[in-house]
């Protein structure tokens, strides 16, 4: 369906990705109810793909006393995804992934905060739910690919598949795909990765999508109001709320705290300590200690990474860089194997501290080549 008005919107050819190879190919469109995945589904349909829309129900929002409209994967978003599918004239299914999400995202999230780690739930959701359990379901629907609304680009050539940063540097989401297995990535498409965010909105209006003006949420999807502490307490993370000491790097006690779950590595606000500024540089789940340091002492230069996923191996002499946080600019580093399937990243310049449980994403230029989970940093 196209916009019919006295002044129709003309879609520039530059906004259309080259999807001609998907004509007649069955593709599962992972629809979150947001504008990005809605446009993704529309582009696939226009390319002649055999598109099936799928929404993943991952959390029981009836237990939350808040308005979830406009967030990720809530009940209202399921309605929006279905409205878009109806508008585009494609089949639509909602899949119950709550047990998988509980096992692979929620339970590890709670355990990490009890043990002094800072988890990345979006990474785990991508790896285990969207690109894990969903790909298994895709086989039942006899589809070749899953497509998402991530701002990531894929390029295939004689050397194989390459995953590149999104064209919109401010929206690039390749960091969250860093731990995706290669066999998973080979079956994933990113039809909006070549777009700027404003162009995605333009296309949504062109297609007259019900989600064209929908706002985005920055909340973690299962923590509706952003109240992580209330969520952890409700989930029974008692070990994360044991009182303990706040100490400096020499072990001198500077104050007391109400539980390590209140803190994240690198945190500098809300510490309430004299002679600052201070940064949190370690959280000890055994002793319930929060270790702080002055900014110059908190910087790190080496990071140990485990659970490595390789999209491709670097060739000798290729220039490597890494991101330890989503908003971080990739920094030059060297890579060394340290045994037990772990790598050590050595940065050329000191970096702000990162937390065990966070993602380390490796790049060669704009290409994502690998990723893993931070074990330790110093």
Q: Tell me, what CATH number does 246's domain have? A: 2.30.30.280
17 and 135 in a single domain? The answer is yes
Query: What CATH number does the domain containing 42 carry?
Result: 3.40.50.620
196 and 247 in a single domain? The answer is no
Average the pLDDT over each of 61-65, 77-81, 274-278, 317-321 and give the range with the smallest value.
61-65
What's the confidence (pLDDT) of residue 9? 58
What's the confidence (pLDDT) of residue 206? 93
Looking at the domain assignment, is residue 2 inside a domain? no
pLDDT digit string, tens, across residues 186-214? 999 999 999 999 999 999 999 999 999 99
197 and 290 in a single domain? The answer is no
What's the confidence (pLDDT) of residue 61? 60
Domain boundary among 278, 297, 316: 297
Looking at the domain assignment, is residue 133 inside a domain? yes
Looking at the domain assignment, is residue 170 inside a domain? no
Looking at the domain assignment, is residue 91 inside a domain? yes
54 and 104 in a single domain? The answer is yes
Looking at the domain assignment, is residue 288 inside a domain? yes
293 and 303 in a single domain? The answer is no
Confidence band, pLDDT 50/70/90 cuts, at residue 355: confident
Distance CA 369, CA 153 (A): 13
Mean pLDDT along residues 77-92? 96
What's the confidence (pLDDT) of residue 287? 94
360 and 282 in a single domain? The answer is no
What's the confidence (pLDDT) of residue 69? 45
> Is it the case that residue 38 has pLDDT exceeding 90?
yes
Looking at the domain assignment, is residue 162 inside a domain? no
Number of domains the chain contains: 3
> Is it the case that residue 25 has pLDDT exceeding 70?
yes
* Residues of the domain holding 263: 242-297
61 and 99 in a single domain? The answer is yes
Looking at the domain assignment, is residue 363 inside a domain? yes
As annotated, the active-site residues are: 125, 221
98 and 247 in a single domain? The answer is no
Confidence band, pLDDT 50/70/90 cuts, at residue 138: confident
Query: What CATH number does the domain containing 369 carry?
Result: 2.40.30.10
Mean pLDDT of the chain: 90
Looking at the domain assignment, is residue 176 inside a domain? no
């Amino acid at each position: 369906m196209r916009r019919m008005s006295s002044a129709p919107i003309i879609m520039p050819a530059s906004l259309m990705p080259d999807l001609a190879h998907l004509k007649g190919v069955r593709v599962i469109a992972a629809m979150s109810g947001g504008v990005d995945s809605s446009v993704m589904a529309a582009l696939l349909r226009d390319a002649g793909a055999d598109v099936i829309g799928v929404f993943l129900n991952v959390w029981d929002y009836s237990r939350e006393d808040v308005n979830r409209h406009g967030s990720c994967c809530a009940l209202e978003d399921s309605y929006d995804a279905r409205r878009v599918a109806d508008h585009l004239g494609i089949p639509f299914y909602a899949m119950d992934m709550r047990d998988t999400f509980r096992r692979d995202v929620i339970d590890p999230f709670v355990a990490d905060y009890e043990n002094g780690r800072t988890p990345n739930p979006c990474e785990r959701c991508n790896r285990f739910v969207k690109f894990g359990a969903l790909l298994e379901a895709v086989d039942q629907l006899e589809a070749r690919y899953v497509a998402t609304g991530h701002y990531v680009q894929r390029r295939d050539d004689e050397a194989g598949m390459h995953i590149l940063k999104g064209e919109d540097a401010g929206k690039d989401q390749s960091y969250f795909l860093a731990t995706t297995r290669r066999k998973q990535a080979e079956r994933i498409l990113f039809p909006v990765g070549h777009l700027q965010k404003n162009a995605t909105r333009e296309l949504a209006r062109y297609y007259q999508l019900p989600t064209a003006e929908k706002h985005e949420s920055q909340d973690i999807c299962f923590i509706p109001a952003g109240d992580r502490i209330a969520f952890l307490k409700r989930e029974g993370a008692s070990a994360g709320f044991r009182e303990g000491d706040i100490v400096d790097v020499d072990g001198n006690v500077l104050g007391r705290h109400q539980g390590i779950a209140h803190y994240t590595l690198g945190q500098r606000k809300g510490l309430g300590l004299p002679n600052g500024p201070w940064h949190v540089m370690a959280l000890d789940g055994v002793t319930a200690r929060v270790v702080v340091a002055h900014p110059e002492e908190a910087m790190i230069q080496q990071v140990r990474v485990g659970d490595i996923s390789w999209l491709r191996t670097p060739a000798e002499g290729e220039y490597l860089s890494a991101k330890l946080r989503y908003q971080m600019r990739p920094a030059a580093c060297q890579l060394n194997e340290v045994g037990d399937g772990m790598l050590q990243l050595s940065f050329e310049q000191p970096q702000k501290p990162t937390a065990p449980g966070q993602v380390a994403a490796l790049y060669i230029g704009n290409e994502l080549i690998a990723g893993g989970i931070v074990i330790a940093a110093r």
